[in-house]
Structure 1
Amino acid sequence: MVDWDLAGRTARRLVKPGPPTSREEATAVVAELHRAAATAVAHVEELTGLRPVPGGPQPTVAVVDRPGWVDANTAGMSALLDPLAAGLQAATGKAPGALATAVGSRVTGVQAGGVLAFLCTRVLGQYEVFGSGGRLLLVAPNIVETERRLGVDPTDFRLWVCLHEATHQLQFTAVPWLRGHLEEQMTLFVESTDLDSDVLLDRLQEVLRSVVGALRGSEVDTDAPQGLMALVTHPEQRAVLDRITAVMSLVEGHAEYVMDNVGPDVVPSVRVLRKRFAQRRKGRSPLDRVLRRLLGLEQKMQQYADGRVFVAGVVDLVGMDGFNQVWASPENLPHRDELLEPARWVTRVLETRPAFPG
């Protein structure tokens, strides 16, 4: 449904340049980010008690610029979404015609490129779950731009960002079933749709058009369904989306908990970083806030908050070892209604005390 090659070319053409830096400064930033990523791993393992599964895949670290992030994400989204689109066509027994495919995929490709161009200026880092898988990406120009804007210590901030991403890396290397569980939920989400591929393509284009329109300064209906929810029409899809939201809230909240609880011995200015970074997440302008809503990023911000409440609440009640039982099996993952009531999860899950090899 999306021409990802065209999306990547469009994003590269539209992407804004990063902050001005000399060649020497850029080289130093890349080197320090690699060191911070390596340092972060030991701190995350010590705090969480998690360890990578022996013999598992060895993750790598890539420090990239904005076009490099675009390339990684077009490849990752293609690897995830193209098989799902093919599965949808097989399930509904209806594939769009050749002309609709050619024209529709190019239209969505251009629109997706506009969205990627917006996102690639804001993402600081990410762990690639899909696509190539296993890579920890750090977007150097965005990290430098953000630390300058916030007026924080660069060394502390770079390690702080790496702690968050290294936590995601550890989640997926210590819990081998987690990636497969997410892929399974994505597949169920598509299989439960009652839309044929033509209608789904139209709705996807509506979402992308609204985002591109906002980028151009057009009026946006902020009361309309936002982000992924704009594509959800079936009750079974909403149930699957609730499960996906719960697990993403867990992994994001876990990373938030770690980056704030390593303590000032590791990141001396951690309290200042959190205070100033929280302001950044509110959006820097009305347009930025509208775009976040359209893209579903406001929901992601809520995932950070709800997930952190859950992780901190469970750790307070039963300690880190008790919390780590969440990784024992998919059945132990929190339900969405347990995120803000950690005691309910403790009552449901820890009665059986499943063994997690920590």
Structure 2
Amino acid sequence: MQVIDWDLAVATGTRLVRPGPQVSREEARQAVVELRRLSREAEGHVRDFTKIEADAPPQPATIVDRPGWIKANADGFRVVLEPLTDRMANRRNPPPAIVTAVGSRITGVEVGAVLAFLASRVLGQYELFLPPDPSGEAPTGRLTLVAPNIVHAERELGVNTRDFRLWVCLHEETHRVQFTGVPWLREYVRSQMTEFLLASDLDLPTLFERLRQAADAVADAVRGGDSSLLDAIQSDEQKVILDRLTAVMTLVEGHGDFVMDAVGPAVVPTVAEIRGKFHHRREGGSRLDRTLRRLLGIDLKMKQYAEGSAFVRAVVDAAGMDGFNKVWTSPETLPTQAEFADPAAWIARVVHPPNELSSRAAAN
């Protein structure tokens, strides 16, 4: 059973996405070459600073244009949604084929439109979920940089191109180091996403109610409200799972922002200017752009950057990098939502747990 027509999603996204900035063939070639080189340079800076080691050898960054990003993410979404698709296909009373065919095309167009919106904004990402490689030789994840968006952003901001490109690479390479250097992290995120999907209510009355709530969320957002599609479509069980996912993504995004800014002054001379201008750009945009960001949860991600970065900075200041790196021990050492606002509580629980303090006292 095909819930989403992925070929149509890619075709729709590719048709709707805005063209990138005007560059000559030589400018495009130079940008690709420099981004690949800077991604390798950034990896060394990130590993030295974070003290996270990985067994996997470093892989060159994949440089794509906007249609390439759409295709890659459609492939990734297909992998993520596979457990839900399998479950729907194995139901005792599947919907008629005509309903499935029409529904998959409708959702294909909708997903394509979302991908087109995002494809002109994403600078880079570490792709956790790739189609399986029959040879078993391909890496499990891939660092992708969207060259047209990086060029567009550096022109719009009027910043030093080399410095901006390295600054972006520092953030994205931090994610690669996290997911290749922490053995359990990728599987934990995957399992939580699968659990979230399988907690969906799939009966038709509940599905129609979810769609009604989604329509209400769109209307509220257009009027300037705070509704998001994520809030509208969740069951109670999904909200609990999403809290766990939000916590781990707040950590990895905040850690990426912290590393980017901590390493930056030593290797990116204009980092203060870039940070200031980029922060202003994140908060800007037209009313339609801000509405779509809120609906798709992008504003939530911006909040994660700030909360996560503040948490990492506070812990590193108080316990050092070795103390902070205890966060990567297991899922149980991840900070809770409450601990993001109270880093001292996380330090007391993980870095200096009560049994450790008791042992020290007994030894003295």
Tell me the TM-score normalised to structure 2 length. 0.88
Q: Does 2:194 align with 1:187? A: yes
Q: Distance in 1 between matches of 2:211 and 2:175?
A: 28
Q: CA deviation at 1:94?
A: 5.2
2:362 is aligned to none
Q: Distance in 2 between matches of 1:166 and 1:336?
A: 25
Q: Distance in 2 between matches of 1:164 and 1:174?
A: 15
Q: Distance in 2 between matches of 1:270 and 1:78?
A: 37
2:145 is aligned to 138
Query: Map of 1:49-68 to 2, 5 A cutoff?
Result: 49-52=51-54, 54=55, 56=56, 58-68=58-68
Q: For the Cα contact (< 8 Å) 1:7–1:113, is it kept in 2?
A: yes
Residue deviations 1:142-178 (CA, integer Å, cap 9, x gap)? 0000000001000000000000000000000001211
Q: Distance in 1 between matches of 2:212 and 2:110?
A: 8
Q: Distance in 2 between matches of 1:267 and 1:198?
A: 55
Q: CA deviation at 1:351?
A: 3.1
Q: Distance in 1 between matches of 2:225 and 2:215?
A: 16
Q: Distance in 1 between matches of 2:18 and 2:116?
A: 8
Q: Distance in 2 between matches of 1:198 and 1:25?
A: 54
Structure 2 stretches of 5 or more lacking a match?
132-139, 356-364
1:38 is aligned to 40
Q: Distance in 2 between matches of 1:42 and 1:209?
A: 48
**Given the superposition, is the C-alpha separation of residues 35 and 207 from structure 1 closer, same or farther in structure 2, using an over 3 Å criterion?**
farther
Q: CA deviation at 1:16?
A: 1.0
Q: For the Cα contact (< 8 Å) 2:126–2:172, is it kept in 1?
A: yes
Q: For the Cα contact (< 8 Å) 1:88–1:190, is it kept in 2?
A: no
**Given the superposition, is the C-alpha separation of residues 300 and 88 from structure 1 closer, same or farther in structure 2, using an over 3 Å criterion?**
farther
Q: Does 2:89 align with 1:71? A: no
Q: Secondary structure at the match of 2:11?
A: helix
Query: Map of 1:274-353 to 2, 5 A cutoff?
Result: 274-352=275-353
Residue deviations 1:229-264 (CA, integer Å, cap 9, x gap)? 221121x22111100000000000000001101142
Residue deviations 1:3-56 (CA, integer Å, cap 9, x gap)? 11110010111111110001111111111001110100010011111111x2x3
Letter in 2 for 1:181: Y
Bigger Rg, which one: 2
Q: Does 2:226 align with 1:227? A: no
Q: CA deviation at 1:84?
A: 2.7
Q: CA deviation at 1:197?
A: 6.6
Structure 1 stretches of 5 or more lacking a match?
none
Tell me the TM-score normalised to structure 1 length. 0.90
Question: Identity over the aligned pairs, expressed in percent?
Answer: 52
Q: Secondary structure at the match of 2:265?
A: coil
Q: Distance in 1 between matches of 2:34 and 2:178?
A: 24
Q: Secondary structure at the match of 1:326?
A: helix
Q: For the Cα contact (< 8 Å) 1:108–1:208, is it kept in 2?
A: no
RMSD: 2.5
1:6 is aligned to 8
Letter in 2 for 1:319: G
Q: CA deviation at 1:205?
A: 9.3
